């Protein structure tokens, strides 16, 4: 195992367009061209300490090594998907963008929009700041934002057996 590649890709370009995500800290999604011809995507996170995230990825890498040593886990091809986390300081850093993934917030926002419910940070913050008790706020949020995640499963798995196969593959 060699921690440093012999021919690392170098940065050849940085894309002009940056996507600003709609979460609280407004992280930026950037694209970088590599000398190997590949496009690399990263998430630049301001106001977020990524040192714990970095340690978690190091821990997951150790778990993957242990999984490869065990004959049963190796036969079942068990592993944890890891990604690069680079803390730049105590309050910002860069995270490798994992392709073909969607955040839970993005999924739920689309589902709420589909059923005619608009959800914004401002709405939630306003309701929270004007609450009389935490229980009242929680009850109001449940009423205003009913469960919709089941719709995603119905959209993606037309039959229960499809879902079960996907779940089994994920649980491996």
Q: What confidence score (pLDDT) does residue 165 get?
A: 85
- C-alpha distances (whole Å) from 52 to each of 12, 43, 55, 59, 80 are 30, 16, 5, 10, 17
Q: How far apart are CA 86 and CA 26, in angstroms?
A: 18
Token reading at 45: 């996170």
pLDDT band at 78 (very low <50, low <70, confident <90, very high): confident
Task: Give 69's pLDDT tier (boundaries 50, 70, 90).
Answer: very high
Q: Give the C-alpha distances (Å, rounded to integers) separating 2 from 5, 6, 77.
A: 7, 9, 22
Q: Is the pLDDT of residue 2 over 90?
A: no
By percentage, how much of the chain surpasses pLDDT 90?
54
- Specify the pTM: 0.69
């Amino acid at each position: 195992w060699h921690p440093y590649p012999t021919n690392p890709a170098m940065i050849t370009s940085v894309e002009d367009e940056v996507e600003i995500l709609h979460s609280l800290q407004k992280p930026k999604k950037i694209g970088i061209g590599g000398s190997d011809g590949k496009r690399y995507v990263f998430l630049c996170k301001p106001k977020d300490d990524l040192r714990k995230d970095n340690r978690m990825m190091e821990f997951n890498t150790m778990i993957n090594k242990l999984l490869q040593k065990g004959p049963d886990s190796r036969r079942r091809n068990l592993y944890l998907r890891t990604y690069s986390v680079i803390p730049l300081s105590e309050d910002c850093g860069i995270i490798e963008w994992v392709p073909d993934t969607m955040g839970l917030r993005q999924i739920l926002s689309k589902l709420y929009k589909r059923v005619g419910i608009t959800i914004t940070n401002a709405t939630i913050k306003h309701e929270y700041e004007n609450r009389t008790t935490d229980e009242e706020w929680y009850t109001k949020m449940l009423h205003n934002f009913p469960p919709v995640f089941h719709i995603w499963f119905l959209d993606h798995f037309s039959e229960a057996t499809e879902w079960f196969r996907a779940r089994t593959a994920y649980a491996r």
